[in-house]
Amino acid sequence: MSVTQRGVGPPQASGPPGPAPPPSSDVSRSSASTRGAGTTAVRLDEVCKVYGKGRSSLLALDKVSMAVEPGEFVCLIGASGCGKSTMLSLVAGLDTATSGEVSTGGKRVTLMFQEPALFPWLTSSRNVELALRARGVPKQERRARATELLQTVHLGGFGSKRPHELSGGMRQRVALARALAQDADVLLMDEPFGALDAMTRDLLHEELERICAERELTVLFVTHNVREAARLGDRVIVLSSRPGRVIEEIPVDIERPRRMDSPEIAELGAHMTDRLRQEMASHGR
C-alpha cells in the first residue's frame, strides 16, 4: 500500500534534518476511524463561537465537532462565512470558544497565514531565529538551526535576504521554516498558498507533503480550493456557511503521489463543488 508513504521520493533521498517516517503499518492515515481514540491531536467538541452581543451578534460556529489524528492531514473546505479561520484561531489559542471544548492534548500548535507575515526588518534567517529564540533555544545554536530549517525548505542560500527581496513562494517557504522552528506537532494553515500562482503552488504542495511526512506533522489545512483539498488531504471536512457546521467528511483514498490535474482529484473536487453549491443555494434569496 502506498498510503503509508506520503513523500514524493523515497524518504532517505530527502534532506538531512528530520527522521524518516517509520515504515510500520500503524501510520496508515487514509481513514481516521482506523485509529483509537485518546491519541487525538486536535479535538473540537460541540464548539460554538458567537461574535458580538445581543441583536448584532453573529453565530460563526455552530456545534462543530471534529477530530484530527496525529500525523493526519485534514483539509477544511467551505464557502465564505463558514468560520474556517475562526476554527484555526480557536485551535491556535488566539481566541476562545463561546461554548464547547477545544483540545490539542498539550501538543504544540503553530499557525501559518495566507500572507507570509514575516518581519520585514529581519533577514529570512533572523526571522527563523526569532522563532527559535521565542521558545528558548540557546543563542549559539540558533544560527545553525535556522540554516538547517531554511535548507529543509530549499532556501539554504537565502538566509541573508530580507523578505522583500524574495518571491511570494519563497517568502511562504520562509514562513514554513519559521513555523517548523516552533517545533510544533500540529501545523494549522490558513489558505497558505491562496495568493500564489498555480505553478508555485503545485511545487509547494510537494514540499509540504514531503516535510510533513518527514516530521510526522499533524496538519489542519484551510482552503477554498476543492482540488487543493483533494490533492493534499487524507480527509476533507466540508463546512456549511453562517453558521459553520460540519456537513460532510470525505476520506480521500487516492494513492500518493497525487497530481492536481489527475482525473480522480478532479472527480472528487467536482463532488465537493456540488456540495458547496447546494450549501450556497440554501442561502439564496
Does residue number 270 form part of the binding site for another protein (CB under 8 A)?
no
Cα separation of 68 and 78, whole Å? 18
Q: Determine the interface stretch with another protein among 17-25, 109-117, 240-248, 265-273 (rule: CB under 8 A).
A: 109-117
**Least Å distance between CB 89 and another protein?**
8
Which residues, in sequence order, are CB contacts of 246 under 8 Å at separation 6+?
64, 65, 66, 237, 238, 239, 240
**Least Å distance between CB 193 and another protein?**
14
Q: Determine the interface stretch with another protein among 8-16, 69-77, 221-229, 273-281 (rule: CB under 8 A).
A: 8-16
Block residue for cell numbers 487516492: 254
Cα separation of 99 and 62, whole Å? 10
Does residue number 130 form part of the binding site for another protein (CB under 8 A)?
yes
Does residue number 139 form part of the binding site for another protein (CB under 8 A)?
no
279, 240 contact by CB (below 8 A): yes
Report the half-sphere exposure of 185 (CA within 13 A, side-chain side): 15
All 3 cell numbers of residue 215? 516530521
Q: Which of 154, 224, 242, 271 binds another protein (CB under 8 A)?
A: 154
Q: Which of 41, 68, 77, 170 binds another protein (CB under 8 A)?
A: 170
Does residue number 203 form part of the binding site for another protein (CB under 8 A)?
yes
Return left, alpha or beta for 147; rule: phi > 0 is left, psi -120 to 50 is alpha, else beta.
alpha
Does residue number 115 form part of the binding site for another protein (CB under 8 A)?
yes
Does residue number 92 form part of the binding site for another protein (CB under 8 A)?
yes
Which residues, in sequence order, are CB contacts of 93 under 8 Å at separation 6+?
109
Which residues, in sequence order, are CB contacts of 228 under 8 Å at separation 6+?
75, 193, 201, 205, 260
Count of residues that interact with another protein, criterion CB under 8 A? 39
Closer CB to another protein, residue 70 or residue 163?
A: 163
Does residue number 185 form part of the binding site for another protein (CB under 8 A)?
no
Cα separation of 85 and 113, whole Å? 10
Q: Determine the interface stretch with another protein among 62-70, 76-84, 142-150, 158-166 (rule: CB under 8 A).
A: 158-166
3-class DSSP state of 115: coil
Q: Determine the interface stretch with another protein among 17-25, 75-83, 137-145, 200-208 (rule: CB under 8 A).
A: 200-208
Block residue for cell numbers 480522480: 264
Does residue number 5 form part of the binding site for another protein (CB under 8 A)?
no
5, 256 contact by CB (below 8 A): yes
Footprint on this chain of another protein (rule: CB under 8 A)? 8-9, 13-15, 92, 94, 110-111, 113, 115, 117-122, 130-131, 133-135, 154-155, 162-167, 169-170, 178, 182, 199-200, 203, 206-207
